[in-house]
Amino acid sequence: MAEEGSKFGFNHLHGKSGFSSGLAVLLASEGRKDKSQKAHLVSSCDDASSRSVEHMLEYIFDLPFRSIRLPTSTVDVSFVQSTLRREIERLLAKREVKLGDRDGVFIFDNGCGASEVVIDEASICGDIRISKQPLLVESMAPFSSARANACMWKGKWMYEVILETAGIQQLGWATVSCPFTDLKGVGDADDSYSYDGRRISKWNKDPEMYGQPWVVGDVIGCCIDLDLDEISFYRNGVSLGVAFDEVRKMEPRVGYYPAFSLSQGERCDLNFGSRPFRYAIDGFLPIQAAPAFNYDGKLDSAAAVATYLLRCLFRLVKLHCADTSASTSVDNFQRWRRFASVEQVFNPICQATCQEFFSAFGKMTGALEYIGRGPLMSFFLEVFGMQPPHDYSSLGRILDHFMVFPQFELIFRHVLHALACGCKTAPLVLMDCPYSGPYPYLALASYLLRREELMVQLWKSPDFEFLLEGLLSRKGPNKHDLQCFMPAVWWPGSCEDASSESSMTLTTTALSNAISKVEEMQREVCRLVIQFIPPSSPSQSSGSVFRDFLQNLILKARAADRKVPAAGLSSNSVLVSVYTVILHFLSEGFGLGDISERMRSPTTAGSKASASEGFLHRGGQQSFPIGLFLRPDPLHIDFARLGGTFSHLIKSYPINDSEPELVQWEEGSMDSKGTRVTHSTRKKPCCCASADADFGRVGKNPIKVVSRSPKAHCTAIPERSAHVASECSASSLNDEIVDKPSSSGQSNPAFGYRPVQCNRSVPKTNHASSETLREEELLDAMLLLYHLGLAPNFKRASHYMSHQSQWISLLEETDKQIRSERNCAEQLKHLKEVRNAYREELVDCVRHCAWYRVSLFSRWKQRGMYAACMWIAQLLLVLSRTDSLFVYVPEFYLEALVDCFHALRRSDPPFVSSASFLQQGLSSFVTFVVTHFNDPRISSADLRDVLLHSISVLVQYKDYFAAFENNEAALQRMPLALLSAFDDRSWIPVTNILLRLCKGSGFGFAKQGESSSVRFQGLLKEVCLLDKELFSAFLNRLFNTLSWTITEFSVSIREMRENYLITELQQRKSTLIFDLSCNLARVLEFFTHEIPQAFVSGPDMNLRRLIELIIFILNQMTSTIDVEVFDMSIRRHGQSVEKLNRAMILAPLVGMILNLVDASEDPLLVEPNDIVGVFVSMDCAATVHFGFQYLLDFNWGGMLRGNIPFVRLKKLERFASCLRSRREMDTIASLGCIAEDDEVICCICYACKSDSQLMPCNHKSCFGCISRHLLNSQRCFFCNATVTDVKEMADTRL
């Protein structure tokens, strides 16, 4: 608590506890010129050398020079106590404090005492719950409001609010006349004022923009100045400005009350003064007075007396440090040391001071809380040091004296609360990096918890989990904080100042180092909890306490997914911190020393590798206890499984004793050359090998099943070695893990670990599991934490990264237009305004991307995530070969795998090159997604969509696509599965994949055959020819979908044209539908080229549907949509015409027509269908003629970037000429024909005879119309009867 340290005399912001050698320098550092006689130093020329002890005591107790006379030659406890008491009495007499003099505030007695400020229960509207004492409140209703039991009518007052959540909260002041309802709260009426950082507004009847957005951990100071009639708010001690002035004056005892309104699930911690303020504001008093201290009938602030006693101890520590460091200093200091050794008086002074401290405050519960959270915690921090090297020795000796007193147990809990609060609220300060933010509090907590007695006290505390979550909390920045961190930004290709790049690099490096130090300390705290063996009966093992903490943390986090969130949800930063801790333990090792051997399971205890590597990088045989999936424990039972719910699966796939306990496999994969890539071979995965290594595909590893046995079945936690993986290349590893977390400057003895154990038996209500915590359990918890906490963070990072690319592109295009000479003054002004808006958005994205880069994508995290993806992908592949096991896998395993994979793929900076990413370690991921994106055993369609979308994304990149072409499972399964998966739900990703597979084979591509996959195209053709029924169904869905997208596009264009308005939403919709239509048309063009016989031979239904679709698209694109409206609807301002134009849909139409013509001319084709005749038979001669002429006259050269095939266009021209000739001939022939009876003509198409009859209803139509209808429905299109048969009729021509 920085501000408290200054207030109580312990300014622990200077960063170090080491002192300059030489007592003269030390004493002069007190810097109090008005009391220079108290800091008098006996020099080497002083003839009163025999009085050196008295002078030392005068300095320690802050007494005047020559004011102490020792009765004996030694300093004893009673003498020190009497000296302290006299000085305390003198201070009390001098201060003459009148604690009752607080005019302007009145506290109503609500049963808690007239001096305690609490929530006035009578004022509560809604449902407000106090989650933690004293005033951690949470709203359980949609909107809740309340007031405190204190009102102010004059003076300057404040209270603080620590945000546990960062949603809609209205914090401020209100009179008793302000009405609270389900919809209105603080700030929604007269004489009611509030600030809401979520909506960045201040409220007094109506909202106005004010302040900054707040984040979890912010400390909001609510201040009211009734002398100037102003209300202002502070964020983390920084003023947000005067929010309201001319506040109405009030009569005594009817003034303004502290008040707040919270949305459902919102939490905040109110502090009216019962604890020291985190950021006290000069001139403003706390509403509740600090605890009073009665010393022999004299009242004073308990904090003031405690501060004096602690300052005495602090000066003693400073003297002792100087005495120790000066042992080799200048000669004149030697005489001082001969006559006065600090070591001689250290113990009696400490003992007497601590005895006086606890005798004064031991029975004052309120005072102990205030002192423990304020002066005492600040004192510990000052002695320990804010930065390394920490003074372990001095703090250890002080603790030895404090812990003698039983009251220390109570005050220590308050110290822990203060440390946890410090971790929640401490912001990163650039000037203090790398030891900034929560680091000092975590470092002190980790040191204190090494003492087994203190760890036991933490464990026994009813707030154990709350305190541990607080220590693992970390505050994030808002937009304003990032702007302060990075006032100047830079991005590749920017025209910013050249110094911006180096400045931003220095900033991100400093922030990265600070985050690394904080994470290191969080690991130390968790490591101590994992080591802790609780003194309970029955006895427990290492890790049992941490296991219970993990389970409860996850159970609370899961409640956030409910429609009505449960109370007491953990902060997202806690989930992220615990995930990061576990990831480091599993990837880089534990460092648990002598307890690791007994935590190892029999399956790995004899392995040398298992004891020296991170779990995720361990080579050889891997195993996993499937009991984690099969047992109905509270952590897993409610989670959806791949096969459905657990209650459903237990009936369909009952669990019995014959089920294997372990599933085992050999880790690794095979590259394209047949070389095995594992952690234990020469060729290693990306996480343990150089980035330029060769890559391969997954190997075929058999499953090995181990039967159940009573022995331990998990791999135990190993100890950490000097290098993470001894079987991995040391040199390449050091090159890869360039920012692997290091120590914080501690000496080795200070961080040596021993089991934290107590021999006493302390009963506890809920006993933890007696089993040793295993690595596989940590992996299971890590995946769930990723799913609950990390995935949203990575999605936000991906959002900012993608938007950064978009804004850069738009900014570059706008700059090009500004440089153009064709702009008039008005256009130039508009373009500059647009550019400034683009730049502002881009700068914000750059700052957020930089923050996510340093907080999420450090090198060791990327390495661990990559190894985790490998591990889970291989596990799922092995389990997928056994139905009864695969269906029990929790869905979050698969979701975490896919999310983590794509987060790593999009990471900035990239972990490895895209060429290496899949082929050297993650080919198993490719195998899994292509095998299971259409797997019926996965009951969730959303999960199957996730796998399908992964394929759709990956195949768009050349290097990733190569991994698919080299993957045996992809070649065998993907073509058939893609055609089967093309349905109403998955047609978009399937279309994108097919388009990529068919790329380079259509009309108008830049270079014919470029980037095309001949292998996949051949496999697609083979599948279609072998399974004609599947291909027929696919074609039917393709025709229907393309017809629907073109219709939707036409409707959207018509709406914009009729409304004379093109909104951004409509433009995005039109662009999306147009892109999808173009993609579908390209896919259809591919099949007309590769499988033309499906259209030009046999029944002509496919041919007719194709030609109808071509004519329909031509009509929509050429006659019904004018060029200007078309361009405005699909192309954003400044977007190049080459990227989006009408040729994108017209080119595939030309390709389809020419493919049909080419196929009809094939001499090997027997009795081809009459393509020209089908075109002519369409009852739209003018539309066909105009459409073909439009295609021939189209400016292909100006719209397509590739080589225009003019030879092919000549062929199209000849075909159009044939159509005209055939139409003329048919027209002449029809003049001499006898008209057919209307009853004979099909009433659906009016082009063919009614030669078929639907059974059993006997309705008639042509065979073509009936066949097309039965593709999508089995009911008669006249009477809706179910069709059982189609009967051909005899010739009915008249």
Per-residue pLDDT tens for 66-95? 777 777 667 788 888 888 888 888 877 766
Residues counted in the chain: 1294
- Give pLDDT, residue 210: 95
pLDDT category at 1063 given cuts 50, 70, 90 is confident
Number of other residues whose CB lies within 10 A of the CB of residue 1045 = 23
Read off the pLDDT of residues 760-781 as tens digits, 9 standing for 90 and up: 333 444 444 557 888 999 999 9
254 compared with 242, residue with greater pLDDT: 242
β partners of residue 1216: none
> Lowest mean pLDDT: which of 401-410, 603-612, 867-876, 1124-1133?
603-612
- In the numeric block, which tokens belong to residue 433? 């990096």
Please confirm whether the linkage preceding 142 is cis (ω < 30° from 0).
Answer: no
* φ and ψ at residue 301, rounded to 5 degrees: -65, 130
Name the burial class of residue 501, with classes exposed (0-12), middle (13-18) and buried (19+) by CB atoms within 10 angstroms of its CB: middle
Measured CA to CA, the distance from residue 392 to residue 467 in angstroms comes to: 23
Read off the pLDDT of residues 810-827 as tens digits, 9 standing for 90 and up: 888 888 888 876 778 888
Read off the pLDDT of residues 143-163 as tens digits, 9 standing for 90 and up: 999 999 999 999 999 999 999
How far does Cα 826 stand from its chain's mean position?
44
Cα angle: 480, vertex 485, 486; to 5 degrees: 95
β partners of residue 662: 625, 706
Contact partners, residue 329, CB within 8 Å, separation at least 6: 21, 22
Number of other residues whose CB lies within 10 A of the CB of residue 827 = 13
With 80 as the cut, is the pLDDT of residue 595 above it? no
- Are the C-beta atoms of 163 and 245 separated by less than 8 Å? no
With 70 as the cut, is the pLDDT of residue 1009 above it? no
Over residues 964-977, the mean pLDDT reads 91
Helix locations, 267-341, DSSP H = 302-325, 332-339
1180 compared with 1186, residue with greater pLDDT: 1186
With 60 as the cut, is the pLDDT of residue 941 above it? yes
Measured CA to CA, the distance from residue 417 to residue 1065 in angstroms comes to: 50
With 90 as the cut, is the pLDDT of residue 293 above it? no
With 90 as the cut, is the pLDDT of residue 1293 above it? no
3-state secondary structure 595-610: HCCCCCCCCCCCCCHH
With 80 as the cut, is the pLDDT of residue 22 above it? no
- In the numeric block, which tokens belong to residue 1048? 């939707």
pLDDT category at 627 given cuts 50, 70, 90 is confident
Amino acid at 236: N
With 70 as the cut, is the pLDDT of residue 920 above it? yes
% of the chain exceeding 90 in pLDDT: 41
Over residues 995-1020, the mean pLDDT reads 76
Measured CA to CA, the distance from residue 787 to residue 898 in angstroms comes to: 10
With 70 as the cut, is the pLDDT of residue 356 above it? yes
Measured CA to CA, the distance from residue 114 to residue 109 in angstroms comes to: 4
113 compared with 458, residue with greater pLDDT: 458
- Give pLDDT, residue 654: 86
- Give pLDDT, residue 201: 95
The secondary structure of 1000-1068 as a DSSP string is T-STT-SSTTTT--HHHHHHHHHHHHH-HHHHHHHHHHHHHHHHHHHHHHHHHHHHHHHHT---HHHHH
- In the numeric block, which tokens belong to residue 882? 């056994």
- In the numeric block, which tokens belong to residue 1014? 């001949």
pLDDT category at 1136 given cuts 50, 70, 90 is low
Contact partners, residue 82, CB within 8 Å, separation at least 6: none
pLDDT category at 45 given cuts 50, 70, 90 is very low
366 compared with 736, residue with greater pLDDT: 366
Closest CA to 1136 of 814, 696, 701: 814
3-state secondary structure 692-761: CCCCEECCCCCCEEECCCCCCCCCECCCCCCCCCCCCCHHHHHHHCCCCCCCCCCCCHHHCCCCCECCCC
- Give pLDDT, residue 1169: 84
With 80 as the cut, is the pLDDT of residue 317 above it? yes
> How much is the pTM?
0.85
Closest CA to 485 of 425, 537, 431, 426: 431
Contact partners, residue 1266, CB within 8 Å, separation at least 6: 1252, 1254, 1286
